[in-house]
Amino acid sequence: MSKKIICPKCRNSINIGNKVALVGKTKTGLKGVILLSTTLGDYTAEFSDDFTIVEGNIVKFLCPICHRNLSRRRNKNLATIIGVDKDGNESNIIFSQIFGEKSTYRIEDNNIKESFGENNFKYTENDI
């Protein structure tokens, strides 16, 4: 995976080591911190103590620095962050905001370069 993860809005680094730090917000307004793995296809996550999410619920991801919504315009069930490799090359990393849905895509030049997760068939290039 990428050496660094940045917010597509403010372009600040949002990873600490091999974890991406995001703020999650549910439909009911509950907010919490979520730590995701920087390894594409690894769906382990850690949540702040009082942030409980039920599988199938939509969790909107926000940048922990600028607090802007990371949802995609084309499909609000997907979010975007940017991965930067050791050579400084950037890829859009698009992933599902539906808790428990395993769908992740690495995009370069508006093309899907890699897809991950057992639900990766759910979205097409038109959705992404």
Taking the C-alpha atoms of residue 96 and residue 127, their distance in angstroms, rounded to an integer, is 11
How big is the chain by its Cα radius of gyration, in Å?
13
| Per-block mean pLDDT, blocks of 10 residues, the chain (128 long) | 87 96 94 96 94 91 98 94 95 96 94 93 82
pLDDT for 88: 93
pLDDT for 52: 85
pLDDT for 125: 81
pLDDT for 2: 57
